[in-house]
Amino acid sequence: MTEAATPRRLTSTGRGVSKGLMTMAASTVVLVVLGFALAPSSVAPGAVLGMLPFASVLAIVGLGQMLVVQQGGIDLSVPGAVSLAVVLSTHIPNENDALLVPAILAVYAWAVGAGLLNGFMVGRLGLNPIIATLGTNALLFGAVLGISGGIPRTTTRLLSSIAGGRTAGIPHAVLIAAVVLVVVALLVKRTVAGRRFEAVGSNPAAARATGLRYRTHRGAAYLWAQLLFATAGILLAGITNQPTAFQGNTYLLTSVAVVVLGGTSLLGGRGYPVATVAAALFLSQLDQFVLALGVPFAVRTLVQAAALAIGVAIYTVDWAALRRRFASRSEPLAPATT
């Protein structure tokens, strides 16, 4: 069997629960226990309620990045996409609730344009995803500076109440993220198009041989990702009272980290939406835990990078083969016979 025809390994337990979800659930429990022991302020009710909306934003961004990674790609235009959504959501209304709907329509129009551009460059022209999406990111940040001039605007009361409010004590951002999760999970896991989407990501050569439109699926991933990035940006604009024009910069590394920690292979294939959301919750709580310890921002970034590296090691290293290799080296050599 050739390498192209070899199916990629799936990270599941065989009982319908992914390895990534189990790992993130266990890691979150350990993190909460450490929080009670070392930094009680990180697990205080007020701190948790303040963390959950931002975890929801990261979860939505992560779901968009997951769709791209499933096709063996990566979208580095996350910062520009989220920042532009924030800027359009605050600068077009300029505290006027009546202009919020046109602003949101403008956000999604830009998202569709950026998604089609990325999809065309990667899916049709076959350009490297890193180069293509970095170029799109530069264009999006050009629009950010052109519209905002680098000056922040205050969020409208309507958007603040929708995105930053609570119902029965539950932040609206959490409810919105839950709806997005259900939609993404149903589309990817329960529809014919979703199963074809995963099949194309798992084995493009086999998908091409069976007649699947692999270029269309690959390009569509970037379009759907941009729509999710835009949704996250609108939500972020409502959570933050006066967001900056570069609010999306913090989501580049973290968006990839939650996908990897959730168990989705960087080589493409099967995706794990629930595990990705769980990873977003874990990473947000980890950031809050480190912040409560009083460490500098640079150390927090290093912790995120370390989490990404650990996630890659957990899901990509063949630990059984590694153990066998070390075991064979440690075995004594048999004495030579005469």
**Ramachandran angles phi, psi of 173, nearest 5°:** -60, -35
**d(C-alpha 133, C-alpha 78), whole Å:** 9
Residues of the chain with pLDDT under 50: 1-15
Q: Smallest Cα–Cα separation from 90: which of 229, 244, 246, 251?
A: 244
DSSP for 201-213, please give it: HH-HHHHHHTT--
Angle in degrees, CA 144, 149, 150, rounded to 5: 80
295 Rama class: left (phi>0) / alpha (psi -120 to 50) / beta: beta
Q: Are 198 and 279 in contact (CB under 8 A)?
A: no
Predicted confidence (pLDDT) per residue in 87-123, tens digit:
999 999 999 999 999 999 999 999 999 999 999 999 8
The label of the residue with tokens 């990325």 reads: 118
DSSP type of residue 12: B
Q: Are 66 and 123 in contact (CB under 8 A)?
A: no
At 215 the pLDDT is 83
The label of the residue with tokens 């595990």 reads: 275
Q: Are 225 and 68 in contact (CB under 8 A)?
A: yes
The label of the residue with tokens 């940006």 reads: 233
Q: Are 258 and 283 in contact (CB under 8 A)?
A: yes
* DSSP tally for the chain: helices H, then strands E: 14, 2
A 10 A CB-CB count for 276 gives: 33
Q: Smallest Cα–Cα separation from 160: which of 150, 148, 172, 168?
A: 172
SS3 18: strand
Q: Are 137 and 79 in contact (CB under 8 A)?
A: yes
Stated length of the chain: 338
**Ramachandran angles phi, psi of 98, nearest 5°:** -65, -20
Angle in degrees, CA 304, 219, 59, rounded to 5: 30
Q: Smallest Cα–Cα separation from 203: which of 249, 267, 298, 151?
A: 267
What is the pTM assigned to this prediction?
Answer: 0.88
Q: Please enumerate in sequence order all residues whose Cβ is within 8 A of that of 285, keeping only pairs 6 or more positions apart, or say none.
A: 28, 31, 32, 35, 42, 51, 55
Q: How far apart are the first and last CA of the chain?
A: 43
Q: Smallest Cα–Cα separation from 18: which of 263, 315, 245?
A: 263
Strands (E) across 149-205 are located at 166-167, 170-171
* CA dihedral sign of residues 164, 104, 222, 251: negative
